A = this chain, B = another copy of it.
């Protein structure tokens, strides 16, 4: 394991290590109606950001590239490090193209983001920590990857819509390797709806 990319980049995954600071506290204002209005908007922003990331995971695993594109900031930056890969890129077009090439008719992806910890920094900036659990088969290579990771993101709101501006993860664990045989899937959505190989 000593030579894996994941180890080379191993940082302590605490808030200091990943650069996440406290946002506006979850304390209601003692002020009047305009302060309460801002408090309600902050709760709505937290909900909107959760839905944004939830849609992201739904879109990748269903190969819904049209909706995926609308979730990403034009200048989104991606920094994911797994045991045997680094996935680093800049820009919405490059990100969607990369997802498109991975989620083919010969792939099965299962990506769930748990445990949202959303911090609102201002009316238009927020951060989030998530706990990824994922499972993916690339059947053209009989390759299976399974594991978990800590995600940390930045979100920006423009024209009333929150988008993913920056996204990172590092693995907690990963098991990956070649299979003797691909699984026999009794359902496989991407078989019809994934990118043509």
Which residues of A does B touch, CB under 8 Å?
A: 1, 4, 6-7, 10, 12-15, 25-30, 32-33, 36-41, 43-48, 50-51, 54-55, 57-58, 61-62, 64, 66-67, 82-84, 108-110, 112-118, 129, 131, 133, 147-148, 150, 160, 170-177, 183-193
Contact = CB atoms under 8 A, between A and B. Distances in A.
Contact of A173 (B41, B50, B148, B185): B185
B150 A58 contact: yes
Contact of A172 (B66, B118, B172, B187): B187
B44 A117 contact: no
Q: A interface, by DSSP: helix, strand, loop or mixed?
A: mixed
Contacts of A25: 160
B51 A117 contact: yes
A44 B26 contact: yes
17 contacts: A26-B51, A28-B40, A32-B33, A40-B43, A51-B117, A54-B115, A54-B116, A57-B114, A58-B115, A58-B117, A61-B148, A83-B186, A108-B172, A171-B187, A171-B188, A174-B185, A175-B183
B175 A184 contact: yes
B39 A40 contact: yes
Contact of A187 (B50, B116, B147): B147
B27 A44 contact: yes
Nearest to A30: B37
Nearest to A50: B116
A129 B50 CA distance: 13
Nearest to A6: B187
B177 A184 contact: yes
